[in-house]
Structure 1
């Protein structure tokens, strides 16, 4: 099975320092939905792993998070794409949970859900914590320069072997070539 793990904010949709708190604030990055559809057409399973500390901070509730994800799923379906599983951490940034990236809990759960060894599985993020979580389970790191990616690319702690692309469409073009 070909599996890829994507972060959400800054990879699929535009990010916001004030959080994406409503379906109206969720806006796809140009080309990202079509890139996911290309992955699907090429036989890839797509898992989402996203920190959503806005829930834990009380900025929005689970119904709102579900509505945001429903909007994303509908927008993907409109271009022939899908996400096979959505994993999220609802805890605040100061939580000691195992699911909040850079910890590996969500990626371990993805491994169990899909019954796959995560070694070499591409993980795509725009922040260091996305890549660090993937590295803990052996994923191959891909950094996109959208979202926080430009700043992350300059971080001296960037995992060795990280491949850098302008956006998700660039990652997908390489993976499906």
Structure 2
């Protein structure tokens, strides 16, 4: 039997209350709205285990076209749990990290729009400057700016 081989990571999903605000927030970071629509019916619930569901979904894509963020607003069934205020050391999925080219400028813009810096902007050696922010709806977002390329951060091609 042939062993499974991972092909790609397709997307990361985030559930929000206000889809329009979330789209605007992630567009401000630099993602582009790729598509928006409804996912509903029993077939969808068979995948999620939620039964008959109705979800409005927006798919956001990074500038390189390689990564996607699926933002969902559940119309039914109603959401029953909220993890947005969980601290960084909580179990489970926690945050999304984005690599940007001007950290200070982006953080300033996001703070003007209501985001809050979680701790401080810090520098890791001479490689990255990074921080966590609480963005739209309290979502925890990591932002990192690479200062220089080195052997650990270069992507090496395979022959």
What TM-score comes out, normalization by structure 1 length? Answer: 0.26
Structure with bigger helix share is 1
Larger radius of gyration: 2
What TM-score comes out, normalization by structure 2 length? Answer: 0.28
Greater relative CO, 1 or 2 (CA 8 Å, sep 6+): 1
Structure with bigger strand share is 2
